Chain A
Amino acid sequence: MKNRLKVLRAERDWTQAQLASALEVSRQTINAIEKGKFDPSLPLAFKAARLFNLSIEDIFHDEVETV
């Protein structure tokens, strides 16, 4: 799953540690999500969406494009 977490974080000038703090996860988890190595659960995705004031679809994208 691809995501725009790194871009959204950079736009707000937040560090990984600050984002981790806001989402109540470890910095390593934020790093893994940004690199696409770990897919967050739905509750965590909703939490990120609430934090950025966006919808989940605005942040996370399925790598398989639907026609």
Chain B
Amino acid sequence: MSNPDYEKNNYQTKNIANNITLRNWTIAWVVTMAIAAFAPKFIWDFNTSLTIIALVVNLAIGLRMLIANRAYLRGLDEMQQKILLEAMALALGVGLVVGLSYELLEDIKLITFQPEIAHLVILMGITYLLAVISGHRKYQ
């Protein structure tokens, strides 16, 4: 049998393309999120119509980012998918369990400040990142 033709492999090419698409939609989502968060106060003085438009655009781009993420995941091979899906499951579980307890802390007067959703997002992000690193090490 002849040597496999390295040039014909489209796995890496497809992944790079999916990765770039996901990166672009993520950047667009972050930018539109920033616009929806700060523009009402600093640019258009809480004009309701513009604020709703900014929010709808942000949501639409967020959905497109999710579709790009799904395409990226489906383009990965089975081991890479397993690593990422396990990391997502862990991040979701940690987010749910710790998030609910964290929210409870204020209700039962153990903390004086208002729990922020951003703290939960950071926790889930760090959990996901560590789980992905751990997953890659596991199969090295």
Binding site for B on A (CB under 8 A): 12-14, 17-22, 24-26, 28-29, 31-32, 37-38, 40-41, 44, 51-53
Judged by a CB distance under 8 angstroms, whether B10 is at the interface is yes
User: Which of B12, B78, B79 counts the most chain A CB atoms within 10 A?
Assistant: B79
Segment 43-84 of B: residues with Cβ below 8 Å from A: 76-80, 82
Nearest Cβ distance between residue B17 and chain A, in whole angstroms? 14
A15 to B73, CA, bound (A): 26
User: Which stretch, B1-9, B88-96, B98-106, B117-125, touches the partner chain A?
Assistant: B1-9
Can you show 19 pairs from A to B with CB atoms below 8 A apart? Answer: A12-B1, A12-B3, A13-B3, A14-B3, A14-B4, A18-B4, A25-B78, A25-B79, A26-B12, A26-B76, A28-B79, A28-B136, A28-B140, A29-B77, A29-B78, A29-B80, A31-B139, A32-B139, A41-B78
**Chain B residues within 8 Å of A38, by CB:** 79, 82, 139
Contact present for A21 and B6 (CB under 8 Å): yes
Binding site for A on B (CB under 8 A): 1, 3-6, 8-12, 76-80, 82, 136, 138-140
The contact of A24 among B5, B77, B82, B140, by CB within 8 Å, is: B77
Contact present for A18 and B77 (CB under 8 Å): no
**Chain A residues within 8 Å of B79, by CB:** 25-26, 28-29, 32, 38
Contact present for A20 and B139 (CB under 8 Å): no
The contact of A22 among B9, B76, B78, by CB within 8 Å, is: B9
